[in-house]
Amino acid sequence: MYIKQLKIRLVISAISILSSLNVQAASPVLDKIKTTGAVTMGVRESSIPMSYTTGDSRFDGYHVEICRMILSDIKEKLGLPNLRINYQPVTSQNRVPLVQNGTVDIECGSTTNNASRAKDVSFANTLYVEEVRIAVKANSGINAIAQLAGKKVATTTGTTSVQLLRKHEKANNVDFDEVFGKDHADSFLLLESGRADAFVMDGSILAGNIANSRNPKDFKIVGEVLSTEPIAIMIRKDDPEFKIAVNAAIAKIVASGNMPKLWDKWFLKPIPPKNITVGLELSAATKNAWTNLNDKPVEEYQKK
């Protein structure tokens, strides 16, 4: 009899603890989605092919499509008949604050997961690992970072490439001038117009902007890989339940075998609105991220 009563008390105690945890783990974002039937997705305007505008306030891209799939899974879990997605363009400078203050519920752009940002926001499991490279004009004669001495090098304000530039400038004793674009399209325009001799940024963004230019053959990606970086979907730091829901949806996408198809669609085939082809092959690092889902920051990658 005592054992039976003890078991009953343990079950009641467990139920009480779980109920308490559920109350404490209430999700601000999931609650808002369920109440309003809407969600705000942060998107970029020129991070081709990750996240970019296709015109008329429409957005698409590799991360944008993945986020739509994530939100579709969450919609089903919440039992919503419909879910309205509001698209909020963000920049390298304001993306973290807009996620922090709740203006953006899920940021689906080209953001590096690093320890500094992780103090203010959280990141979903990585589905894309980037290599930071250098783009130059094909006839420039520049093939390595050492040849940037005395040159003007463009990068986008608010990106991690700024720190990489400074690090390599010191490490290699190369003296160059930094010029900044307000977004990736503006930075590429600095290179295209001759106001910069090189553009340092994520390889996918460089490839996308080159493919989207008037004369793609006029440019090339050269030099050493400056950094290997996990690019991840960004969400609020104070909402672990939403992160669990997002990562559960990501796991389902990976398990379904859709990731190679999404890669082919956005990186190896013509994409809207101009039917350009980025032509970036799937890297071993990205494939490994799919196989071993994790939210490790860039600092973990740099230990290797």
How many residues are there in the chain? 304
Residue 11 lies in a domain: no
Closest alpha carbon to 110 in 161, 175, 40: 161
Q: What pLDDT digit, counting tens, does each position of 181-233 carry?
A: 999 999 999 999 999 999 999 999 999 999 999 999 999 999 888 888 999 99
Instruction: State whether 236 and 191 are in the same domain.
Output: no
Task: Give the domain extent around 48.
Answer: 25-127+232-302
Of 119 and 173, the one with more pLDDT: 119
Instruction: State whether 110 and 146 are in the same domain.
Output: no
- Asked whether the beta carbons of 48 and 61 are under 8 A apart, the reply is yes
Instruction: State whether 72 and 104 are in the same domain.
Output: yes
Say what the pLDDT of residue 164 is.
81
Q: Quote the Cα angle for 222-163-187, to 5°.
A: 55
How far apart are the C-alpha atoms of 265 and 62, rounded to whole Å?
8
* Chain position carrying tokens 């979907």: 233
Instruction: State whether 96 and 179 are in the same domain.
Output: no
- Asked whether the beta carbons of 2 and 212 are under 8 A apart, the reply is no
Q: What is the pTM of this model?
A: 0.81
Instruction: State whether 143 and 188 are in the same domain.
Output: yes
CATH for 117: 3.40.190.10
Say what the pLDDT of residue 159 is.
85
Instruction: State whether 120 and 145 are in the same domain.
Output: no
> Mean pLDDT, the chain, as a whole number?
90
Instruction: State whether 114 and 242 are in the same domain.
Output: yes
How far apart are the C-alpha atoms of 272 and 55, rounded to whole Å?
10
Residue 16 lies in a domain: no
* Other Cβ atoms within 10 Å of 118 Cβ, number: 15
The lowest-confidence range among 135-139, 224-228, 258-262, 288-292 is: 224-228
Asked if residue 10 has pLDDT above 70, the reply is no
Say what the pLDDT of residue 75 is.
98
Residue 156 lies in a domain: yes
Q: Which of 228, 260, 285 is the last residue of a domain?
A: 228
Q: Which of 180, 198, 228 is the last residue of a domain?
A: 228
Say what the pLDDT of residue 145 is.
85
What tokens were used for 274?
A: 């101009």
Q: What pLDDT digit, counting tens, does each position of 17-52 carry?
A: 333 334 345 899 999 999 999 999 999 999 999 999
Residue 13 lies in a domain: no
Let me know if 4 is exposed, middle or buried by CB neighbors in 10 A (0-12, 13-18, 19+): exposed
How far apart are the C-alpha atoms of 183 and 156, rounded to whole Å?
6
Instruction: State whether 255 and 135 are in the same domain.
Output: no
Residue 7 lies in a domain: no
Asked if residue 6 has pLDDT above 70, the reply is no
Closest alpha carbon to 259 in 114, 86, 125, 133: 125
Q: Fill in the amino acid letter for 244.
A: I
Say what the pLDDT of residue 234 is.
98
Instruction: State whether 113 and 237 are in the same domain.
Output: yes
**3-state class of 81 per DSSP?**
coil
Residue 1 lies in a domain: no
* Chain position carrying tokens 């993306």: 95
Say what the pLDDT of residue 293 is.
98
* Number of domains forming the structure of the chain: 2
Q: Which of 209, 228, 247 is the last residue of a domain?
A: 228
* Other Cβ atoms within 10 Å of 220 Cβ, number: 18
Asked if residue 267 has pLDDT above 90, the reply is yes
The lowest-confidence range among 4-18, 145-159, 281-295 is: 4-18
Residue 61 lies in a domain: yes
- Going by pLDDT thresholds of 50, 70 and 90, the confidence category of residue 303 is confident
Closest alpha carbon to 289 in 95, 113, 68: 113
Asked if residue 278 has pLDDT above 90, the reply is yes
Say what the pLDDT of residue 171 is.
65
How far apart are the C-alpha atoms of 117 and 6, rounded to whole Å?
47
Instruction: State whether 218 and 135 are in the same domain.
Output: yes
Q: What pLDDT digit, counting tens, does each position of 77-128 carry?
A: 999 999 999 999 999 999 999 999 999 999 999 999 999 999 999 999 999 9
Instruction: State whether 116 and 137 are in the same domain.
Output: no
- Going by pLDDT thresholds of 50, 70 and 90, the confidence category of residue 172 is confident
Q: How far is C-alpha 30 from the chain's CA centre? A: 21
Instruction: State whether 252 and 121 are in the same domain.
Output: yes
